[in-house]
Amino acid sequence: MDNTRIQSSPKYTNLAEMVEEQARRFPERTAFAFEDDAGQTESWTYAKLVNRSRTLGSWLAQQVRVGDRVLLVYPPGLEFIAAFLGCAYAGALPVPSTSPKPRRPLPRLDSIVTDCHPSLVLTHSSVLGGLCLDQQLPAISSLTWQATDEISTDENCSFRPVHRSPDDLAFLQYTSGSTSDPRGVMVSHGNVLHNLEAIRVGFGFHGDEHLQAVFWLPAYHDMGLIGGILSPLYVGGTSTLMAPTTFLRRPQRWLELISTNQASVSGAPNFAYELAVRKTTLAERAALNLSPWKTAFCGAEPINPDTLTEFAAAFANAGFRPSAFFPCYGLAESTLLVTGGKSRSGPCILQVDRQAMRDRRVVCLAEKNGRTQALVGCGRECSGLSVEIVDPLTHAVCGTNEVGEIWVRGDSIARGYWNKESASAETFRAQIAHHGSAHAGNYLRTGDLGFQHDGELFVTGRLKDMIIVRGRNHYPQDLERTAQAAHEAVDLGAAFSVNVAGHEELVLVHQSRRESRHANHDQMLLSMRTAIVEEHEIEPHAIVLIRPASLPMTSSGKVQRQRCREQFLNDELTITAQWFKPCCDDDDLEGLATKVAGPPVFLDRLAQMSPAQFQADLLEWLMSWLSVRANILPGTMQANTPFAQLGIDSLTALEISQELDQLLSLHSPPMVMWSCPTPADLAEYLAGELHKSAAHSQYASSRFSQPRSGDSE
């Protein structure tokens, strides 16, 4: 088999055929292993994977028709994979979706349901237990929900897959972000098989090796589904999976699994490499062997060259080589991968003139100085795909050293957006103006800006106003709508991102309503911050209230987000009130930090204290500790203040939970701060767990200190 080019004719017709063939070749080889947050591992061989998929396919074939949409709402684990492949066996159209948090509204899920009208929802019994369907919107609560872990596997199931051609749809991939205008990308079997072959060629997978991979990426995300699950499956490899919450709480575990399994492939967005550097110790790094890690891909968000440099330096003694980095570019509309590459010397970093870049011109500079901006190359176009840089207004191909919109064509490009013909035509059927025969045909407009240099793609920004934080897309209009609805005195606004110490951070600028000039500004800012954290799980960097009618607008009444961003950065806004995320070195927290360093001293007196007194002391310590940990000014937090009001987003909540567990020697559920949304609730939970732990220790001590029958005294 030629390992340097895409095969002219795909090896498989559809995904079910691919799985059947791999099970025939490697029946006893482990296909997937999953480690949960408690460290327990479950693994499936290829034979077991096929039996499970056939069983669910057979069951589904009796419930839905070919082509019906089936929503997949699963926690991390192997059952999602079986459900996804079961849909492929039955000819149904799976629609992966995020796993909901307990007792929370599901606006994004509701928008997906309204858009694609699924016939059925497949899930896990653990999700159903905390979903509270009777409290959800009718579009969700009226659907039939089935926990597939309650369907027993038929080891002798003879169900044969429903035939699907390469042109038939394989799944709907809803792009992350918008709840107001959800877009389900229609990915065909031919699309995904073509992209899997492009990944195989680009990553250098060979048919004669047993690929070992490790991933923590969410299965409902295109990088997690295609990169972490289907790509190893395509080459008959073994993929070890872990929950995203495990990674966020303890990035070291990701690297430990790569080391233990001698994995050659893994990857994640830029923020993951940065988190791994920040949250690992020298001793933890010294215990790793990362020398087998040959392909460390990085994509899904802007790539910071400093992050790659720092990660390579931090883990050099563990055997990690800079040449393993595989910066890449892709999007759901192209199934996944568009460009990628690596070299023996490491990622290609180009120094360009910052001012010229603003004018969409590329001026390369020999060395870094005050005028330069460093850009990481995302590799060359994958075999079977063609990339052009196009003027977004004239649709003509840009000249050399010009920045334009990235356009792509090839067999990986999806069929369009579900039930959105106008948007599909605009995005998927773009034509290059004045084209010759070389540029004839339809192109995908990515909405991303970039240029090509020596055959390598460099992504410079976005034509649209998308905000990407920790690999997740956020549509500005959604954030603006949430902020405006948070308080009656908040009027129109603009959401945009700014670069803060190499990170993309959210800023919200909103007008105050004229008729509410006497409204409490502090309450307005608090309400906006709370709503953004609760609904979008993103902590704003800054929220600014400006005078009525001072928001930059076009003559047709549209918000000028980029102009507003410029005014914010240049201190040109007419500000009436503002809030900034507190800095880590706030002087007001210094004394408090010393007071709460280490675990609470009264833990040793737990047995002598009444439960009520212990809980009260724990609450006092907890609020002081949280003030220091979350950079909240003393006195701001009250016992019943919701964490969302304090700007504590999901990643911060996971980190805090992990640190509390270490301080108190507990093992709490990853999302404990969502289930206990105030300091008082959290103190009550922790007090109960500490009493249980103390009682267990006392029981064990008394039991094992007693002489057993037959023991000498």
Please state, in angstroms and rounded to a whole number, the distance separating the CA atoms of residues 510 and 561: 11
- pLDDT for res 658: 80
**b/e burial code for range 549-577 (CB count within 10 A of at least 16 → b):** ebbbeeeeeebebebbbebbeeeebeebe
pLDDT band at 321; cut points 50, 70, 90: very high
Token reading at 236 = 């008959």
- pLDDT for res 620: 84
- The answer, yes or no, to whether residue 567 has pLDDT greater than 70, is yes
Please state, in angstroms and rounded to a whole number, the distance separating the CA atoms of residues 108 and 548: 31
- Coil vs helix vs strand at 493: strand
pLDDT band at 140; cut points 50, 70, 90: confident
Q: Which residues contact 46 (CB under 8 A, 6 or more apart)?
A: 19, 22, 23, 25, 26, 27, 28, 29, 30, 31, 236
Q: Which helix (H) or strand (E) holds 498?
A: strand 490-500
Contacts by 699-703 with C-beta closer than 8 Å and gap 24+?
none
- The answer, yes or no, to whether residue 699 has pLDDT greater than 80, is no
- The answer, yes or no, to whether residue 8 has pLDDT greater than 60, is no
pLDDT band at 210; cut points 50, 70, 90: very high
Q: Where are the beta strands (DSSP E) in 331-392?
A: 337-340, 349-353, 372-376, 380-381, 385-390
DSSP-assigned beta bridge partners for residue 95? 71
The greatest distance separating any two alpha carbons of the chain, rounded to the nearest whole angstrom, comes to 97
Residues 635-640 have a mean pLDDT of: 78
- The answer, yes or no, to whether residue 713 has pLDDT greater than 60, is no
pLDDT band at 678; cut points 50, 70, 90: confident
Q: Which residues contact 407 (CB under 8 A, 6 or more apart)?
A: 387, 388, 389, 390, 430, 432, 443, 444, 445, 446
Q: Letter for the amino acid at 203?
A: F
Please state, in angstroms and rounded to a whole number, the distance separating the CA atoms of residues 151 and 593: 52
Q: Is the dihedral of CA 652, 654, 658, 663 positive or negative?
A: positive
Please state, in angstroms and rounded to a whole number, the distance separating the CA atoms of residues 299 and 22: 28
- The answer, yes or no, to whether residue 432 has pLDDT greater than 50, is yes
Residue 315 is given by DSSP the state: T
Residue 364 is given by DSSP the state: B
- pLDDT for res 555: 62
Q: What pTM value is reported for the model?
A: 0.78
- pLDDT for res 330: 95
Half-sphere exposure (CA, 13 Å, Cβ side) for 81?
Answer: 30
Token reading at 693 = 């732990």
Nearest to 327 by CA among 161, 509, 194, 203: 203
On whether the CB atoms of residues 310 and 274 are closer than 8 A, the answer is yes
Tell me which residue has tokens 């004839």.
440
- pLDDT for res 586: 46
- pLDDT for res 594: 60
DSSP assignment of 545-563 equals: EE-TT-S-B-TTS-B-HHH
For residue 363, count other CB atoms closer than 10 A to its CB.
15
Tell me which residue has tokens 């005078």.
547
On whether the CB atoms of residues 550 and 573 are closer than 8 A, the answer is yes
From 169-183, 406-420, 482-496, the region with the lowest mean pLDDT: 169-183
Please state, in angstroms and rounded to a whole number, the distance separating the CA atoms of residues 471 and 449: 17
pLDDT tens digits along 102-129: 666 677 788 899 999 999 999 999 988 7
Question: Percent of the chain beyond pLDDT 90?
Answer: 56
Q: Which helix (H) or strand (E) holds 691?
A: helix 679-705
Nearest to 211 by CA among 189, 228, 190, 225: 228
Q: Letter for the amino acid at 357?
A: M
- Coil vs helix vs strand at 474: strand
From 216-230, 384-398, 496-510, 619-633, the region with the lowest mean pLDDT: 619-633
DSSP assignment of 152-204 equals: ---TT--PPPPP--TTSEEEEEEPSS-SSS--EEEEEHHHHHHHHHHHHHHHT
- pLDDT for res 290: 98
Mean predicted lDDT score pLDDT of the chain: 87
Residues 684-707 have a mean pLDDT of: 65
Nearest to 304 by CA among 278, 279, 273: 273
- The answer, yes or no, to whether residue 83 has pLDDT greater than 80, is yes
Tell me which residue has tokens 């706030």.
586
- pLDDT for res 9: 45
Residues 375-381 have a mean pLDDT of: 94
